């Protein structure tokens, strides 16, 4: 492979990269990284002075947009997120279970004199319980929001 062929490939890749920049999106970023791997593979067979296009391709790939999707539920209510098992955007199903904060409130109410069952009120309040998030489609656990 001579210098002219390497330059022509680099120009073609730059043109494709400009088109991708106008469209945007997740798939274009993956293609850019694939092009980078292909360029690296091709550059191994060329001379070191022909690596200018490789540097430009690396810069183009590093400027690709990355979409970050939250995977851990950050709160006690239902959260829309991407399920790692079924790869679908879902609104999580929340189940509340008694946690440390529930028991601490119960003990605090007991020591304040609420002995005749009133100390059990924290077990009826969802805001004092831990929230277990799960996928409604595949029922896989997505995370737990612990109060304390």
Q: For the full predicted model, state whether its pTM sits above 0.85.
A: no
What is the structure's pLDDT at 104?
95
Of residues 62 and 119, which shows the higher confidence score? 119
Residue 24, classified by CB atoms within 10 Å of its CB into exposed (0-12), middle (13-18) or buried (19+), is exposed
For the stretch 120-124, contacts whose Cβ atoms lie closer than 8 Å and that sit 24 or more positions apart, written own/partner, are 123/98
Decide if 7 is inside a domain.
yes
Decide if 88 is inside a domain.
yes
| Of 55, 147, 36, the residue nearest 102 (C-alpha) | 147
Please provide the average confidence, as pLDDT, over all residues in the chain.
Answer: 74
pLDDT at residue 23 above 50? no
Residue 110: give the domain boundaries.
Answer: 80-145
Of residues 18 and 38, which shows the higher confidence score? 38
Of residues 84 and 104, which shows the higher confidence score? 104
What is the structure's pLDDT at 12?
77
Residue 57 shares a structural domain with residue 93:
no
How many structural domains are present in the chain?
2
């Amino acid at each position: 492979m001579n210098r002219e062929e390497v330059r022509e490939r680099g120009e073609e890749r730059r043109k494709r990269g400009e088109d991708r920049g106008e469209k945007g999106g997740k798939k274009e970023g993956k293609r850019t990284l694939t092009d980078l791997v292909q360029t690296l593979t091709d550059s191994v067979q060329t001379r070191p002075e022909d690596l200018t296009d490789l540097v430009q391709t690396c810069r183009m790939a590093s400027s690709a947009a990355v979409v970050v999707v939250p995977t851990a539920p950050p709160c006690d209510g239902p959260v829309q997120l991407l399920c790692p098992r079924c790869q679908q955007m879902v609104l999580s199903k929340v189940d509340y279970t008694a946690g440390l904060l529930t028991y601490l409130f119960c003990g605090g109410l007991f020591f304040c004199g609420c002995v005749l069952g009133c100390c059990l009120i924290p077990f009826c309040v969802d805001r004092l319980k831990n929230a277990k998030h799960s996928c409604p489609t595949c029922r896989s656990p997505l995370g737990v929001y612990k109060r304390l």
